[in-house]
Amino acid sequence: VTDLPMHRRARMGLGYLPQEPSVFRKLTVRDNILAFLEETPLSPGERRERADGILREMRIGHVADTMGYALSGGERRRVEIARALVLSPGFLLLDEPFAGIDPISVADLQQVILGLKERGIGVIMTDHNVRDTLKVCDRAYIISEGAILLAGKPGEIAASDRVREIYLGDGFSL
């Protein structure tokens, strides 16, 4: 899979949210989503209907006609996730999803991630924000110097003396 271009991966049911902002700044939110539907066999009307549905689902309909450059960090993240979801992936890869967004947007994004899991969409995340990540994952891996230091459930990770010593610090709590 890693040798395939992103559009081929998407067709295989793999969505991706990069760490870096990826919203098309000079397009509206709606057009950002429609751009991801360009290569689908859907008619223009069906594309518009699917885009409007994901705008509602992600609670970003109020910014549908807003240009990408005018979005807040949290709105931008929701648009990026909406673009990935509009292609109905089975798995979603999230690279640093909590980076660069305010605490309210982090909580909103956590709810979105939990909702994805409830819908049966697999979610794989990498994030340095361990506390926020552990609140939404079923299993976690702490990597140190290129090797897995510990794998386990969030509570096991948080309770590990070794992980606290090397990565989390003594004051860490969930």
Which domains does the chain possess? 6-129 (3.40.50.300), 138-174 (no CATH)
- For 75, the token pair is 């709105």
Q: What is the pLDDT of residues 120-138, one digit of tens each?
A: 999 999 998 888 999 999 9
Q: What is the pLDDT of residue 144?
A: 86
Give the residue, 34 or 100, on which the prediction is more confident.
34
Q: What is the DSSP string of 74-101?
A: HHHHHHHHHHHHTT--SEEEEESTTTT-
Residues 40-68 have a mean pLDDT of 95
CB 22 within 8 A of CB 68: no
pLDDT higher than 80, residue 8: no
pLDDT higher than 60, residue 1: no
Q: How far apart are CA 17 and CA 152, in angstroms?
A: 24
Q: What is the pLDDT of residue 6?
A: 61
Beta bridge partners of 142: 150
Q: What is the pLDDT of residue 166?
A: 84
Which SS3 state, helix, strand or coil, does residue 23 take?
A: coil
Residues 75-98 have a mean pLDDT of 91
The rounded radius of gyration (Å) of the Cα atoms in the chain is 17
